[in-house]
């Protein structure tokens, strides 16, 4: 969850002390060495002779004044401008940057426009790196590199390079070499009528439309993430990949006829996207409906993807949505015992010895099926995903887990509130978005609670924006017994890690604190993350809900190791199980 602390009072006192109003507003000049254009947001902004609040005031600028900026970050927080044909300095907190310019020799690859209200510019392609500035909605930017650290754009800012997240920028013009006539694949339009745009954006000019079934030559995939570059009426155009099925790939993607099928699987999702590369941002080639049988040529590609063949071209599907039904994955051996991991983090090895390759880790509380005991004396044979693995028996409690008595949850009305959603992604780091992770985990939790007999109400069940007031209204209208708001944490320090749970005293003080303690205890026990404790906080969704309410921060998305755990289905299922057990403890 993003937490913003805005401190204005000290700056305002310093900036506006001893104000003497000029009869005429200052005239602003610019020249060809400017690095940006901005607009004054303060009622009246002092221009200082030096870059500090104690320097002599040389002019004042009223709100709305457009200014040319010649240097940014002077003495950290000041902008160098020119007024009345002399240099001056204004504080950046009272200026919105509306346009930036490049003075580098780097090759521009695209132009873009900021779509977020305020977009942070970072020193590195990471949400945890230093913020070097902010761009307002609508700011035009020149882009020098795309796909940096997967989701970041390299831009020119303050006469140096900076990085902004691609989710909050619309590409308005691509300078990709358009002279190439190389066809990389062929496709077929699946929409009734598909718009062809002049740029890779839904807001770009529509060049024409293509009817369903039209065959198209594709010259580039993944433009601005989800668009395909095509040629219509002897000019370049762009169509959205969601409405095109790839019918033929280029020579590099053609599947050799003699490649070995190593397994067979069955699609478990309602509709499963087939991607051109093993990642969720790659071009979608087609979709497979639930129940489709597929031949698998490679498992574990980019960790979680399966290589398959569609329309005689290679494609990739995520393993979370495929059930193995046959192949070189473990044969259906007999489960002889069940166990529960007792270590905070237990390595799973490819062979029954500590020197073999680590193929995964299991967190405390994970339940495992055991297929063989005493392998090489001290090891247990288990199944990790769809392959065999071995764990040391010293860190597993053997024996069937006790059956939980869930009767106390029967008919309880529990509201689950997955944080953020829609145009609010929440924390964004290491290629993951908070809104996606908390929704998946919340759906796991919903399933577990309903199996326990509870009545579950979701504030959102898909990627939509819900205001904070509407979230609390959902709980009130449902006459809920419990309100659970699910989030992931973020910090400017990548080392920050751990789980914490918040409550508020406004309503149901005692029960909210008790609920927070029960949930935190089980989360720490089951997930094996650092215990950051139970804390009181004034978050709106727990302050104005009139039943026992908590806000859970599962872990830090800005910590790379925790981000990878948070994004895994296994971790999300364990978190859901921990919350279920915490609720049972609360109702004891």
Q: Residue 486, exposed/middle/buried by CB under 10 A (0-12, 13-18, 19+)?
A: buried
Q: Which of 99, 220, 434, 553 is catalytic?
A: 553
What is the three-state SS of 281-332? CCCEEEEEECCCEEEEEEEEECCCEEEEEECCEEEEEEHHHEEEEEECCCCC
Pairing of β 78-83 and β 86-91:
antiparallel
Which 8-state DSSP code applies to residue 529? -
Alpha-carbon distance of 435 to 344, in angstroms, equals: 27
What is the three-state SS of 408-467? HHCCCEEEEEECCECCECCCEECCEEHHHHHHHHHHHHHHHHHHCCCEEEECCCCCCCCC
What is the three-state SS of 198-221? CCCCCCCCEEEEEECCCEEEEEEE
DSSP letter string over 50-115?
SSSTTSPEEEEEETT-EEEEEEEEETTTEEEEEETTEEEEEEGGGEEEEEE---S-SPP-EEEEE-
Alpha-carbon distance of 483 to 550, in angstroms, equals: 7
DSSP letter string over 211-262?
ETT-EEEEEEEEETTTEEEEEETTEEEEEEGGGEEEEEE-GGGBPPTTPPP-
DSSP reduced 3-state for 196 = strand
Who's near 125: CB < 8 A, 6+ residues apart?
A: 148, 149, 152, 154, 163
Residue 553: active-site member: yes
Nearest to 419 by CA among 509, 508, 483, 506: 483
- Residues annotated catalytic, as ranges: 553
């Amino acid at each position: 969850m993003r937490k913003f602390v805005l401190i204005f009072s000290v700056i305002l006192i310093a900036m506006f002390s001893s104000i003497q109003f000029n009869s005429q507003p200052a005239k602003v000049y610019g020249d060809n060495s400017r690095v940006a254009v901005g607009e004054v947001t303060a009622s009246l902004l002092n221009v200082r002779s030096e870059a500090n609040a104690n320097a002599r005031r040389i002019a004042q600028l009223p709100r709305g004044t457009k200014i040319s900026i010649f240097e940014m970050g002077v003495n950290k927080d000041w902008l160098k401008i020119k007024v009345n044909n002399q240099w001056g300095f204004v504080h950046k907190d009272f200026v919105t940057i509306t346009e930036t310019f490049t003075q580098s020799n780097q090759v521009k690859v695209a132009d873009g426009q900021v779509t977020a209200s305020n977009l942070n510019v970072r020193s590195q392609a990471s949400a945890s790196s230093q913020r070097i500035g902010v761009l307002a909605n609508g700011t035009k930017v020149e882009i020098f590199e795309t796909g940096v650290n997967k989701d970041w754009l390299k831009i020119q800012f303050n006469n140096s390079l900076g990085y902004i997240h691609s989710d909050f920028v619309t590409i308005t013009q691509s300078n990709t070499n358009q002279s190439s006539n190389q066809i990389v694949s062929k496709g077929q339009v699946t929409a009734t009528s598909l718009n062809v745009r002049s740029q890779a954006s839904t807001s770009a000019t529509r060049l024409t439309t293509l009817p369903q079934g039209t065959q198209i030559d594709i010259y580039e995939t993944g433009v601005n993430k989800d668009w395909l570059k095509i040629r219509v009426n002897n000019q370049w155009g762009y169509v959205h990949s969601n409405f095109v099925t790839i019918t033929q790939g280029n020579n590099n993607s053609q599947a050799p006829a003699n490649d070995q099928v190593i397994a067979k699987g069955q699609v478990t999702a309602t509709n499963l996207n087939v991607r051109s590369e093993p990642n969720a941002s790659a071009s979608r080639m087609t979709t497979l409906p639930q129940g489709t049988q597929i031949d698998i040529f490679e498992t574990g590609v980019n960790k979680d993807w399966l290589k398959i063949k569609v329309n005689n071209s290679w494609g990739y599907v995520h393993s979370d949505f495929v059930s193995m039904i046959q192949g070189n994955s473990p044969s259906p051996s007999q489960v002889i015992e069940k166990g529960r991991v007792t270590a905070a983090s237990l390595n799973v090895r490819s062979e029954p010895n500590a020197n073999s390759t680590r193929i995964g880790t299991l967190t405390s509380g994970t339940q495992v099926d055991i297929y063989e005991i005493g392998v090489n004396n001290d090891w247990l044979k288990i199944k990790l995903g769809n392959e065999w693995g071995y764990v040391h028996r010293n860190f597993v409690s053997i024996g069937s887990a006790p059956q939980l008595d869930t009767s106390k949850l029967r008919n309880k009305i529990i509201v689950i509130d997955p944080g953020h959603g829609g145009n609010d992604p929440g924390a964004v780091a290491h290629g993951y978005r908070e809104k996606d992770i908390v929704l998946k985990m919340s759906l796991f939790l919903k399933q577990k609670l309903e199996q326990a007999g509870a009545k579950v109400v979701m504030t959102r069940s898909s990627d939509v924006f819900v205001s904070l007031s509407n979230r609390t209204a959902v709980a009130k209208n449902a006459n809920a017994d419990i309100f659970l708001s699910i989030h992931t944490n973020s910090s400017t320090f990548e080392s920050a890690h751990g789980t914490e749970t918040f409550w508020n005293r406004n309503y149901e003080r005692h029960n909210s604190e008790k609920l927070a303690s029960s949930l935190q205890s089980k989360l720490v026990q089951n997930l094996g993350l650092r215990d950051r404790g139970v804390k009181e906080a004034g978050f709106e969704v727990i302050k104005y809900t009139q039943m026992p309410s908590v806000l859970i921060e599962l872990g830090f998305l800005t910590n790379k190791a925790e981000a990878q755990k948070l994004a895994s289905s296994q971790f999300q299922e364990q978190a859901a199980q921990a919350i279920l057990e915490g609720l049972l403890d609360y109702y004891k």
